[in-house]
Amino acid sequence: MPHRWKPNVTVAALIECDGRFLLVEEQTTDGLKLNNPAGHLDPGESPMQACAREVLEETAHDFVPTALVGVYLNRFTKTRTGDDLTYMRFAFAGTLGTHHDWRSLDSGIVRTVWMTAQEIRACPERHRSPLLLHCLADYLAGQRFPLSLVHTDISVTGAANANG
């Protein structure tokens, strides 16, 4: 049987407060880059659970997804290794909760930053992924879908409320 292609599933949060968006500045092999709080879906969790976890790990804030902004597919070649990767990103809007200032940020995250859409658009060379702008544009256009579009079966999480 030939090798089966499997994209990397990721989640991202679009968090706005007073016209500014919460981003993370992270150390990558290509230097310091900006991104939404984002990361990989882990075994045993729904995309919404993964998004809440990633926001907490990368920003030290609680986060509750309230809407799906979109699902995005992106192909990326690592500059140093030449690895050809494909990412499927579930982007969520939601509510930012308590900041836990005692928490350290995830490995590689240098700091969190609040930026306007104009400031984000002005520095595409600093973006970790072109999906940052795509998700932002869809969010600003008012694109929101109910979380019920993303169903996670109980066989994945073992929990009756797998979509929360």
Q: Where are the domains of the chain?
A: 8-149
pLDDT averages per 10-residue partition of the chain, 164 residues: 82 98 94 96 96 98 98 84 87 97 95 98 95 97 97 86 58
Q: Say what the pLDDT of residue 160 is.
A: 64
Q: What pTM, to 2 d.p., does this model score? A: 0.91
- Residue 76 has what pLDDT? 81
Contacts of 90 (CB under 8 A, 6+ apart): 9, 10, 11, 12, 41, 47, 51, 68, 71, 150
The CATH number that domain 8-149 falls under is 3.90.79.10
